[in-house]
Amino acid sequence: MSSVRRALQPDRHKVNREVGTLKLFLVCTLFALLLTPVPASAAEPALDWSGAKLISPDTIADIDCPTSGFCIAVDVFGNVTTSSNPVGSESDWKAVDVTSSSPRAISCPSPSLCVAVGADGQVVTSSDPSGGAAAWTTTDIPGVGYLGAVDCTVGVCAALDAEGRILLTSDPTKGAGAWSIGEPVGNQFFLSAIDCPSEALCVAVGAENRNLGSGLFAQENIVFTIEDPVGPDRSVAKSYLGPRSFIRAISCPSPTFCVAVDKQGEAWSAGDPTGGASAWSNQLVDSQNLLTDISCPTTSFCAAVDENDQALTTSTPTGGLEDWAPASIPSDLLNLSCPSTALCVAGGLNEVAVGTPPPPDQPVSPSPGAGSSPEPQLIGPSWIFLSPKAHSVRAGTLKLLVTCVGTLSCRGQVKVTVPADVWGKRAMTSTGARLITVASSRFSSFKGRKVLPIPLNRRGRQLFEERSLVRAEISIAGSDAGLHPFGVRRIVTLKRRGR
């Protein structure tokens, strides 16, 4: 009987070895988890935005806020609207008709000097912008028919005309004779925006039909820099930044840092704007595309607006999609000015909206019976959201913007298919399939917004060598932390950027 009992008893030495092995395994697993980097979550919007405030009699063409205590908007029928309390109500904005011109842009280096330029080649200035119509002076610049942009800092003002010329002055209040008009700076050059971060530098962006020789031209982005613009040692330089992407706006918070935005949702940045093409790099920052304005009060904070009713903020202006956080704003607010990291004002139509930091989180008051065990937190399922907007393809890789919505992380796989008849009837006959896979990939766990890089296969690379726009079906399947399965299928546009 004792021998039977011993046979039925476990081998204690063996059990101890197995328990020790299990403990070692658990310790190693925990240590590995602690060392595993946590995927960076998408940036949170830095500002909360107000609703639309009706402030102007007509469509706002531009807005500028040199300080948090002074903002001015100019509309297309010659009205200026000022406020010493832009975060206040509509009644804190006062409008006055100052000119018969049709202003298109305004710049105020301080609350005591504002300069507006118009569609009929006029410059309108004031050293007391809130002082009513009598405080403004209109100057006609001979030989200039359209002025579409202006930027002023202490000691220099620069304006752009429709012929690709840059107008410069050290004192815009001294009349037409104080302005010098340069020759057109390129071949069929279109200048869209200019910024003068100091008296020693102005930076303009636009596009030019670049002459490639043999009668061939290519539309390319261009940056034009002017050093010592109103001094005796003026130096100009022009650099090409690649295929035209309709750069719309530029902001230079310092002479050693500039950021420009374009209609393809990209931000172009340079740590040395005068360093030529190699000094500039571009990142996709807005999957909605069509960025219209940017304002950077510091080198570590920028805000931008797009044509899809979004304002984006970032503390990493040189970063990509995950570093620029979008927030909804009222419709058609396409102009932007940020005097500080704590205030941005967007304008358009005859309205403005104000962005300010969200209030701090309030401490939760203890519930009755504090000290008892808290109720368990319920965790619901998460799911994947795929943007219906165009997604970009560059260098053989699809950049797919997705969002994991919910409390748990998402993981799974992506499959991209296109109709076989994209290649014609022969492809349908040879493959016997109506849909052909052009890209697929698995993705690891993440939460929030993320850009998934999906490599194209051979057929996908061939397709985008021949086409720049393709309608495709995106299928995503997976689960949240292995608990709840999810799936999404959507027809989207894939857009090639570059070669």
48-356 and 383-496: identical CATH topology: no
Please say whether the beta carbons of 352 and 60 come within 8 A: yes
| Domains of the chain, residue spans | 48-356, 383-496
- Please choose, from the candidates 208, 177, 202, the residue with its C-alpha nearest in 3D space to the C-alpha of residue 107: 202
pLDDT of residue 338: 97
Q: Both tokens of residue 417?
A: 């298919």
User: pLDDT by residue (tens digit) across 404-436?
Assistant: 887 788 899 999 999 877 765 554 444 455 788
Give me the mean pLDDT over the 300-321 stretch. 95
Q: Which residue has better confidence, 12 or 451?
A: 451
The pair phi, psi for residue 91, each rounded to 5°, is: -70, -10
User: pLDDT by residue (tens digit) across 358-377?
Assistant: 877 555 445 444 444 444 44
The pair phi, psi for residue 30, each rounded to 5°, is: -60, -40
User: pLDDT by residue (tens digit) across 2-37?
Assistant: 333 333 344 544 434 544 544 444 444 444 434 444
Q: Which residue has better confidence, 393 or 114?
A: 114
Q: What percent of the chain has pLDDT over 70?
A: 83
pLDDT of residue 153: 94
As a whole number of angstroms, the distance between CA 494 and CA 397 comes to 11
pLDDT of residue 27: 41
Average pLDDT value over all residues in the chain: 84
Q: Among 19-23, 476-480, 492-496, which stretch is predicted with the lowest mean pLDDT?
A: 19-23
Fold of 48-356: Methylamine Dehydrogenase; Chain H (2.130.10)
Q: Which residue has better confidence, 161 or 346?
A: 346
User: pLDDT by residue (tens digit) across 88-101?
Assistant: 999 999 999 998 78
Report the CATH number of the 383-496 domain. 2.60.40.1400
User: pLDDT by residue (tens digit) across 233-286?
Assistant: 999 999 999 888 899 999 999 999 999 999 999 999 999 999 999 999 999 999
Query: 388: alpha, beta or left, given left = phi > 0 and alpha = psi -120 to 50?
Result: alpha
pLDDT of 216 above 60: yes
Q: Which residue has better confidence, 184 or 391?
A: 391
* pTM confidence score: 0.67
pLDDT of 199 above 90: yes
